[in-house]
Structure 1
Amino acid sequence: MLTARLHTVQWLSPHGLHKLAYREWGDPDNPHVLLCVHGLTRSSADFETMAQDLGKNIRVVAADMPGRGQSDWLPDPTMYGVPTYVGACVALVARLNATTLDWFGTSMGGLIGMGYASLPKNPIRKLILNDVGPSLNFSALQRIGEYVGKPVQFQTLQEARQYIRTISQPFGPHTESQWNELCDSVLVEKNGTWRPHYDPAIGQAFQNLSESTALLHETALWAAFDAIQAETLVVRGEHSDLLSHKTVEEMRQRGPKPSVVKILGVGHAPTFMQNEQINIVRDFLF
């Protein structure tokens, strides 16, 4: 079994220096690097199962985005957005000393990957977008906004696990052990109570979100997608409420003209804890 090595790197924002935490599996000298970035309320621990498998052949790295996990919270809530996260990831890639790398991004992590991969001279060789694209269904954003950033805390770990499990039902079927892993990786204990690991301020962007604002973001995201040169794979959960079939079909015809894989029986978003899902990544990268 591979042991995850825990590291931090400093990155610079207009507000000063911040700590970005990340995990690493596999040979640190392996030139084949896969950088994994989690969804909005998740953490780098999401990739433990996939990294145990792929880390036998490549160097797998997963970061806690700012405001999550063991990374620093940011002083200004308006900083929580894709441009900030791309800047933090640029510092991480410099630390990794990777001239090229592959990117796996779930939901928000995919949006960050799109932003990074759209930049001239970027290092991304292959890009996997896990259940995300330039057009995001507004109703799904509203669903996420109903829980993200809300001040919840629980008296027992079991109560906290049940809460995370309830809001994560679109992930699809998992074993009891897998559910506990998915829950425990995003919970922290403080003063005898349990709460989500992230800065509640990450939810502020959802509180005043309107369809017109979402459309403005969509225009920018399509521009980024059209600029991508990396070989790209789009993964969609069959029952996803965030990434529509219509958007996937448009993605096929634009930008990098990605390959597409649909995962049956899953909504937003596939967790890549199952062997058949991990094999999708393996087949695309090798």
Structure 2
Amino acid sequence: MDDLTLLKVQDLEIAVRIWNPQAPRTLVAWHGLARHGGDFEALAHRLGPQWRIIAPDTPGRGLSSWSPTPEQHYLYNHYMTIALAVLDHFNLDSVPWVGTSMGGLLGMRLASDAEHAGRIERLMLNDVGPALNPDALIHMGQYFAQPYQFNQLSELEKELRDNYASFGIQSDRTWAEMTRDSARRLPDGSWSFHYDPRIAEQFIHDTPRDNWADWLAIDCPLMLLRGANSALLDRETADRMSREQPSMVSLEAEGCGHAPMLDRTSQVEPLRQFLEG
């Protein structure tokens, strides 16, 4: 990243990663459940100096604060509060939004909200939609709720490679960078992941919602990138999304599951065309 902004939102510090801070155009990029804003570095480099990328770390992840009360802060309603605070801080009245998984659902909520829909100028969803495979959700909730501990950094990298194989990462350098950005030291010198295991409590505390109603309410330009091998977003759901929003741009990422890293020309160039309208 080229810059880092730290915001205080309801006693939690929110880290916002920024690339190309002087660029004439701005894109907000929001990560998935157990990731952080650093995942968009490759996208920032591929989009180039015309685009400022603003990528927050959601509380409990990356460089942002962990919450002492997850039942209050690890919820979509609170993420909405944070998103609006980020947009206000950077004086963004209306901005394109790219959301991977959880970040896409957050973008959907903003884009369908009667009061705030105008803040999202156009919305790109990265392997997420109004309905998600329940077995995949159960697996994610169970996996990320576990406290991981590794004696060596190489063990952490192996676990990353196994769990995120569906990202479609193709280079050892990218895995090494992901390992560096995903690790934190524990007091005894061992290693764990960057995120608070209690983020998985979101599945317990968050209020069920009619995401299809949100989907129908969205009025901005839409794009969907689905991992061709996605375990989370079924092709049937993607087809229904297209039927209910027929102007949506649809793309499948070959060789990827959940969720594409937005680090290849075949993914980024269609996104560039969508962003430039």
The TM-score range, normalised by the shorter chain, is: over 0.9
Alpha-carbon distance in 2 for matches of 1:140, 1:63: 25
Alpha-carbon distance in 2 for matches of 1:101, 1:89: 12
Summarize the Cα distance change of 1:257–1:250 in structure 2 as closer, same or farther, 3 Å threshold.
Answer: farther
Contact 2:59–2:66 under 8 Å retained in 1: yes
Length-normalised TM-score, structure 2: 0.92
Long gaps (5+) in structure 1:
none
Determine what percentage of the aligned residue pairs are the same residue.
35
- Partner deviation per Cα, 1:8-52 (whole Å, 9 max, x = no partner): 11223xxxx22111111114462x210000010101110111112
SS in 1 for 2:210: helix
1:115-134 correspondence to structure 2 within 5 Å? 115-120=109-114, 121=116, 122-134=118-130
Q: CA deviation at 1:53?
A: 2.5
4+ aligned runs moved over 4 Å, structure 1: none
2:252 to 240, 262, 266: 262
1:62 to 43, 55, 59: 55
Contact 2:62–2:182 under 8 Å retained in 1: yes
- Partner deviation per Cα, 1:102-143 (whole Å, 9 max, x = no partner): 000000010110011112343111100000000000011122
Summarize the Cα distance change of 1:105–1:256 in structure 2 as closer, same or farther, 3 Å threshold.
Answer: farther
1:273 to 253, 263, 266: 263
Worse-matched range after superposition: 274-283 or 105-114: 274-283
Worse-matched range after superposition: 233-242 or 254-263: 254-263
Length-normalised TM-score, structure 1: 0.89
Long gaps (5+) in structure 2:
none
Alpha-carbon distance in 2 for matches of 1:22, 1:149: 24
Alpha-carbon distance in 2 for matches of 1:74, 1:107: 21
Q: Check if 1:177 corresponds to 2:173.
A: yes
Count of residue pairs brought into register by the alignment? 272
- Partner deviation per Cα, 1:175-201 (whole Å, 9 max, x = no partner): 111122223222112331111111111
Q: Check if 1:195 corresponds to 2:192.
A: yes
What letter corresponds to residue 75 of structure 2 in structure 1?
G
Summarize the Cα distance change of 1:170–1:29 in structure 2 as closer, same or farther, 3 Å threshold.
Answer: closer
For the aligned residue pairs, the C-alpha RMSD in angstroms reads 1.9
Contact 1:83–1:115 under 8 Å retained in 2: no
What letter corresponds to residue 201 of structure 1 in structure 2?
R
Contact 1:226–1:256 under 8 Å retained in 2: no
